[in-house]
Every structure is written in C-alpha cells, then in structure tokens.
C-alpha cells in the first residue's frame, strides 16, 4: 500500500537521474541528492525529507512578481507589455523577440518576467524588489532575505538575460532602464525560502488567498493559476497539465510549487499547497524527483485543480 512516505522514497531515487543547474555557478554547489517536500492544508502539515534546507526561488518568483505588477496596474495594462500565451520555447529563449509579434509571450519566461520586473511599483530598484518581498512576507507572515551570493553569481554570468533585456528595451517594452530591470529580476530570483514556505505560497493559491493577509484580486489569482497550468513547468507544461493536472511553477534551483484546489492526502483535506525542493533537474529545468513525486501523488490520491 503506497503512502506519502513511500511515494517520497521512490521519487527520491530519481535524484540520480538529474543534475544541479550549472549555468548559474552558485547553484552548481547544491547537493544533487537533496530532496524535500512540504504539504500544507489549512490545519495540517506534512514534511518529508530535510525541509529546513534553504534555496532560492528562481523562476517560482515569476508568478509572484506578475501578481504584484498586475494588481498595481490592472490586467489590461499588463497585457500591453506581456501576453498570456505558452511558447514551447526554452525559458531564456530570445528568438521570438525578433519576430513580428515581439511582445513577450508570457510572464513565466525570462523575457516576460524581466518586463514585469520593470513594471513593478516603485521608482528605485530597492522599491521594486521590496514590492514583491513585501507581498511574499505577507503570505508567509515572516521576513524573507535575498541570497546575495546567488544573486551576484548570476549577475556576473547573466549574458543571456542581459541580451534579452537590451532587446526588450530596443522594442519599447521596458518601463525602467536595462540595468535596473535586470537587477530587480535577478534579485527576485535569489529570494531564499524553504519547502514549508513554498507550501504556504502554494496554499495561498489553493485557498484563493484566504490563508493570509496578502491582498490580491481574485482575477489576478485566477490568471496566475492559468499561467502556471499552461506555462509553469517549462517545456513540460502541456504534459504536466495532462498527466499530473495541477497548476505548478518550477525553478532551476529545483523548487516547485503545486496547487491542489481540493483533495485528500492522508491527514490533509481540502485545499492543499505542495512545496518541493530537488536540485537535480532534467534537461528542461524541472526537478526530476519532484515531477515523479507529484505525478505519483496525482495518480494515487484524488486531487482536483480547477
């Protein structure tokens, strides 16, 4: 009889099949065998593995910065700068920025997320970053920090993202200058969390914002969930939606948030937030063990997403 612990143990074996991201030098230091999962409902929490480990949000932050920008400007204004269509390209692809329709396809790819970073409320880099950290702090009920080592490591090797940012500026999509847009984006990627924080963020979506004081319109929460379902798992998003069926967002640090609108998993009932950390990632960028864990959970338990 499978239970969460055995599903976790089986998934953990797959860490050997992935590799820690190496294009950001500081991420390459992660232990590829690490694997931890937190699952949280409104009144119960299950922790599997070493859930005290901290790591950076990387692309998971893209959905949160989108929410802050969309709440501030309204969705109609945001759509002038970033669309909500999946691409099928890799997360840091530059190719469509040169096509006739050069508007970034969605806020989950780097081009869209850097544009969103430039649209965040505030004038200075500090204010823009703070608008997102404050939103996350409201959800978590605690302070969050930026991992400066990871930030600087990525900043000094950000040729690709810098190139994307220059093209965005040339095409008129940036609301702040190249350097500020890039730095805000990279600092947000380097926010440090643990799996319990991820589960709480996921629960925020699962409860439509009812698990905390963080304010976000229902429209923006719903669009964020739709973006996660259609573009949240890199070029595996279609298959993840088809075969796992949960809105989710992953990052190259090996982080994943997955949202269960209603479900039952052992003592967890109702809306459930799942936070995963497994730095051994596959070639598209998803935690190998994390995908296996979520796929097995969705097969074994009744989990509903919409």
Give the residue numbers annotated as catalytic, written as ranges.
59, 62, 185, 234, 252
| Contact between residue 205 and residue 221 where contact means Cβ atoms under 8 Å apart | yes
**Rounded CA gap, 14 and 33, in Å?**
9
Half-sphere exposure of 64 (CA within 13 A, CB side): 32
| Burial call 74-99: b when 16+ CB within 10 Å, e when fewer | eeeebeebbbbebbeeebebeebbee
110 binds ligand GLU (CB under 6 A): yes
Nearest to 159 by CA among 222, 100, 219, 92: 92
| Contact between residue 280 and residue 19 where contact means Cβ atoms under 8 Å apart | yes
What is the nearest approach in angstroms of ligand GLU to the Cβ of residue 181? 12
| Contact between residue 129 and residue 190 where contact means Cβ atoms under 8 Å apart | no
**Of the two residues 139 and 150, which places its CB atom closer to ligand GLU in the complex?**
150
**Of the two residues 67 and 231, which places its CB atom closer to ligand GLU in the complex?**
231
Q: Kindly identify the residues of this chain, within the stretch 176-195, that bind ligand GLU according to CB under 6 A.
A: 189
**Of the two residues 59 and 194, which places its CB atom closer to ligand GLU in the complex?**
59
Q: Kindly identify the residues of this chain, within the stretch 257-296, that bind ligand GLU according to CB under 6 A.
A: 285
107 binds ligand GLU (CB under 6 A): no
What is the nearest approach in angstroms of ligand GLU to the Cβ of residue 154? 6
115 binds ligand GLU (CB under 6 A): no
91 binds ligand GLU (CB under 6 A): yes
**Of the two residues 76 and 159, which places its CB atom closer to ligand GLU in the complex?**
159
**Rounded CA gap, 156 and 248, in Å?**
29
Q: According to CB under 6 A, which one of 161, 207, 235, 298 is a site residue for ligand GLU?
A: 161
Nearest to 270 by CA among 201, 208, 218, 225: 208
What is the nearest approach in angstroms of ligand GLU to the Cβ of residue 189? 4
Between 3 and 42, how does the x/- string for binding to ligand GLU read (CB under 6 A)?
A: ----------------------------------------
Structure tokens at 68: 């802050």
What is the nearest approach in angstroms of ligand GLU to the Cβ of residue 62? 8
CA angle, corner 154, sides to 150 and 155, nearest 5? 115
What is the nearest approach in angstroms of ligand GLU to the Cβ of residue 224? 16
**Rounded CA gap, 212 and 224, in Å?**
17
Binding residues (CB under 6 A) for ligand GLU: these are 58-59, 91-92, 110, 154, 161, 189, 251-252, 285
């Amino acid at each position: 009889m499978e239970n969460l612990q055995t599903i976790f143990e089986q998934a953990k074996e797959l860490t050997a099949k992935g590799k820690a991201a190496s294009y950001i030098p500081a991420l390459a230091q992660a232990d590829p065998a690490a694997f931890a999962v937190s699952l949280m409902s409104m009144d119960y929490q299950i922790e599997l593995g070493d859930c005290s480990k901290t790591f950076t949000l990387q692309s998971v932050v893209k959905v949160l910065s989108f929410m802050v920008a969309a709440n501030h400007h309204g969705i109609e204004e945001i759509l002038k700068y970033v669309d909500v269509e999946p691409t099928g390209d890799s997360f840091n692809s530059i190719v469509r920025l040169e096509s006739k329709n050069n508007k970034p396809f969605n806020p989950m790819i780097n081009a869209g997320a850097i544009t969103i970073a430039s649209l965040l409320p505030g004038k200075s880099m500090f204010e823009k970053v703070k608008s997102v950290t404050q939103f996350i702090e409201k959800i978590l009920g605690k302070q969050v920090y930026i991992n400066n080592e990871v930030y600087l490591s990525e900043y000094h090797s950000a040729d690709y993202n810098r190139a994307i940012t220059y093209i965005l500026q040339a095409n008129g999509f940036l609301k702040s200058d190249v350097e500020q847009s890039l730095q805000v984006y990279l600092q947000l990627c380097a926010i440090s969390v643990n799996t319990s924080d991820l589960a709480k963020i996921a629960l925020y979506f699962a409860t439509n914002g009812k698990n905390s004081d963080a304010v976000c319109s229902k429209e923006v929460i719903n669009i964020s969930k739709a973006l996660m379902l259609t573009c949240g798992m890199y070029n595996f998003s279609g298959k993840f939606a088809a075969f796992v069926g949960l809105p989710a967002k992953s990052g190259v640090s090996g982080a994943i948030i997955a949202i269960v609108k209603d479900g039952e998993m052992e003592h967890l009932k109702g809306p459930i937030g799942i936070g995963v950390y497994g730095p051994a990632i596959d070639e598209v960028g998803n935690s190998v063990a994390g995908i296996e864990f979520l796929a097995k959970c969705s097969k074994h338990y009744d989990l509903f997403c919409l």
